[in-house]
Amino acid sequence: MAAPHFEKPSVTTLAAAAAAALAAVVVRCGGPTPSPPAPVTAPAPAPPAASSSPVAPPAPAPSVSAVPAPPAAKQMVVVAALGDSLTDAKSAGGRYLEVLQKRCPESRFHNFGKGGDMVNQMRRRFEQSVLPSGTDYTHLVVFGGVNDLYSDLTAGRTPAKISADLAAIYQAAQARGWKVVALTVAPWGGFTKYYNPKRAAATRELNEWIVAQRATKKVDWVIDAHGLLSCGDPERLCPDLAGSLKDGLHFGAPGHEKLGAAIYDQVFTNCR
């Protein structure tokens, strides 16, 4: 049998085998693994060219408050009025109520004024005649106090007593659900037989109290008859509003027209 023949490997073959063996050893020993090739990233698109024309901002949404509210429906009112001679038709008073009646022809205005009444007497009439009447009034007008103010010595009437009676009237009316329209005492400085500095101060005190009742919601409206009917001298009636009596206390038709118009404008514009 012939002897086996071995071919001597070339240098190139030996080098290749050595490199392969070395690579295997590196992998087995935890050496670094060759990193994969980095992915190819596409270039970012160029930003669009700016337009030479300005872009208008979007129009704002319409405001709900800009839509006008529908007008309030007209309603019939039923009004009771408490007062003294300036309200009592038998004393040539109360014509401001006639102004309201003309402007509110379908409504009713009941006059409970009585000449010479002080506010405590008005309160008694209110409790005895108005509240028990069974009439479902919508409003109560209260206009008094001057007779009390010049009865401070004869009847002991003071701003505190007057305001207490007025407060009781206001409260009882609101408890029934009636709206209260309070009037300040009209200027009476020309009534020189009874007017004096002490009573002037009491008038101011009482009127300030009446005005303050609106802020505390003890009344629904205050009509400032004192400021409305005076001019020049703030304590006296305007001369062109004076009535035929010309006593500095009772105002005539122009004064009633002005007072009635003011009450209408502030309270009864939606009457029918």
| Band (65; pLDDT cuts 50, 70, 90) | low
Can you tell me the mean pLDDT for 69-84? Answer: 90
Region of 30 (left: φ > 0; alpha: ψ -120 to 50; beta: rest) is: left
User: Residue 231: beta bridge partners?
Assistant: 233
| Band (72; pLDDT cuts 50, 70, 90) | confident
- Distance, CA of 263 to CA of 166 (rounded, Å): 19
CA 37 from centroid of its chain's CA atoms: 77
Please check whether residue 186 is in contact with residue 251, taking contact to mean a CB–CB distance below 8 angstroms. yes
C-alpha distance from residue 220 to each of 13, 96, 177, 211 (Å): 116, 19, 11, 11
User: Which of 6, 1, 145 is closest to 82 using CA atoms?
Assistant: 145
Can you tell me the mean pLDDT for 221-241? Answer: 96
Structure pTM? 0.75
Domains and CATH numbers, the chain: 73-267 (3.40.50.1110)
Query: Between 14 and 157, where is the model more confident?
Result: 157
| Band (245; pLDDT cuts 50, 70, 90) | confident
Place of tokens 């007497």: 121
Please check whether residue 256 is in contact with residue 86, taking contact to mean a CB–CB distance below 8 angstroms. no
Question: Residue 191 pLDDT more than 80?
Answer: yes
pLDDT of residue 258: 98
Query: Between 223 and 64, where is the model more confident?
Result: 223
Question: Residue 50 pLDDT more than 90?
Answer: no
Angle at 192 between CA 191 and CA 195, to 5 degrees: 85
Q: What is the 3-state secondary structure (H, E, C) of 110-130?
A: EECCCCCCCHHHHHHHHHHHH
**% of the chain at pLDDT higher than 70:** 75
Average pLDDT of the chain is 84
Per-residue pLDDT tens digits for 194-209: 999 999 999 999 999 9
Please check whether residue 189 is in contact with residue 200, taking contact to mean a CB–CB distance below 8 angstroms. yes
